[in-house]
Amino acid sequence: MIEFYDALKKSKAYRLLQNDIKNSMAHAYLLTATDEEIIFPLFRLVACRIFCETQSACLECRECHKILDGVNPDVIELNAEKQTIKVGAINELVDSVHYSPVSGVLKLYFINYADCMTGEAQNKLLKTLEEPPEGVILFLGTAKPAALLDTVKSRCRTVPVEAFDYQTVYDEIYALTSDEKTSSIAAACSEGKLYVAKKIASSPEYVETFTAVLDMLDTVKKSSDISEFIGSKKAEKNTPEFLDVLSVILRDVLASDINDRLVLTAHVKDKIERLKSEFSPMAAAQCIFVVNEAKAKLKLNVSVQVVLERMLFKMLEVKYRCR
């Protein structure tokens, strides 16, 4: 499995945790990220840093391999499969923290998808979070911290994993694919989420959707063009992705008017320039709002065809009104 450890080592979150390891660690941490899949590898990287024979998270020594293989008895991981965490599982955790670490150093507990804990399970964990036995450190990971009780959050040091910048995502995906176009699309459309970028890069349909969005912007110039586009069903197969890509391209049209270096879809920069002549900054901004409205309606199970048709009519109206 690809874990993006190199990128994580450069992250602010890892540097903060590494500083704590060198100085003084808290007894409980809450790791948060919008990309929930990045939290588990961050925990393992931190565990490697603590147990590594070279104290560098080398990922090569025997101790690092034990953690990466999930066989270090002092590194206990719960809920790898994202299931409901009931009070029984937390009871077992609370009982086990009183056993001394096998290594004689530390015991690390990681509760992945901590938002899956029931209220009863969270309450059961409170005392252990507040006063764990000496040598025990607890980590909770979640993309939904609002789902945790305030009493749980208040007992943890929160460490947010920030979104990665475009170049970092591009470099990581290019290292996997050796494809500039795919890497550019993935980096532009992933909102800084490495695992989302990996999914985009591994999906030929996403690249096709990106092309379909550009074709639509090139061909839908008047009301009569909308019916033809809707009839082609180019947007209906992957409508959420279609709207995401449309938002990114409109965002780049808007950004290019400010500074060309802000454009993320660099591989189609010439097309962005052409679209800039059709969409004024005000039009691009308002069209992004129109696309977001369409996304909201899709979540309400409104007909895809109706949503797309209304969105395109509104975009045409905005484009011509804001000339």
Mean pLDDT of the chain: 93
Element (H, E) at 65: helix 62-68
The predicted structure's pLDDT at residue 2: 64
User: Who contacts 213 (Cβ-Cβ below 8 Å, separation ≥6)?
Assistant: 242, 245, 246, 249
pLDDT tens digit sequence for 197-244: 999 999 888 888 999 999 999 899 999 999 999 888 888 888 999 999
| pLDDT band of 194, cuts 50, 70, 90 | very high
Give residue limits of the domains in the chain: 5-160, 164-202, 204-321
Looking from the CA of 313 toward its CB, the CA atoms found within 13 Å total: 9
**Could you count the other beta carbons within 10 Å of the beta carbon of residue 5?**
16
Does 55 score more than 70 pLDDT? yes
pLDDT tens digit sequence for 115-174: 999 999 999 999 999 999 999 999 999 999 999 999 999 999 999 999 999 999 999 999
Does 1 score more than 70 pLDDT? no
Domain 204-321 has CATH 1.20.272: yes
* Closest-CA residue to 142 (of 39, 17, 11, 47): 39
| pLDDT band of 16, cuts 50, 70, 90 | very high
Chain-centroid distance, C-alpha 108: 24
* Closest-CA residue to 313 (of 223, 211, 200): 223
Confirm if 41 and 194 have CB atoms less than 8 A apart: no
CATH architecture for residues 5-160 = 3-Layer(aba) Sandwich (3.40)
